[in-house]
Amino acid sequence: MHVGVLTVNLEVTDALTLKDKRQVVRSLLARIRHNFNVSAAEVGQLNSHTMVTFGIAAVANDAAYVYGLLAKVVDLIEHESRAQLIDYATEMV
């Protein structure tokens, strides 16, 4: 069993309030969960109205599959027009 953990830092560029940020975060997390069947949650910077930290986890029998799946999640996030990818890190356990 291989577990991959992806930590992603984003900036929600158009958010003026926490409500604006939450709309983007909910939408993006729902798309990630639906498209890739992974666990995903907002795990940091909860009080900032522009910055977001996501934690995303995937489990499979093949480490290469998990790594590729998380790379596809990063690609989806990079193409999100309402948020800018600042940094990400992938860890395999």
Task: Identify the band that residue 8 occupies on the pLDDT scale cut at 50, 70 and 90.
Answer: very high
Task: Identify the band that residue 46 occupies on the pLDDT scale cut at 50, 70 and 90.
Answer: confident
More reliable by pLDDT, 48 or 5: 5
Number of domains into which the chain is organized: 1
Please give the pLDDT value at position 24: 92
| Nearest Cα to Cα of residue 67 among 2, 23, 1 | 2
| Nearest Cα to Cα of residue 86 among 59, 42, 51 | 51
**What is the residue range of 80's domain?**
2-92
What percent of the chain is modeled with pLDDT above 70? Answer: 100
| Nearest Cα to Cα of residue 20 among 43, 53, 44, 52 | 52
pTM of the model: 0.89
CATH at residue 26: 3.30.70.1120
More reliable by pLDDT, 37 or 46: 37
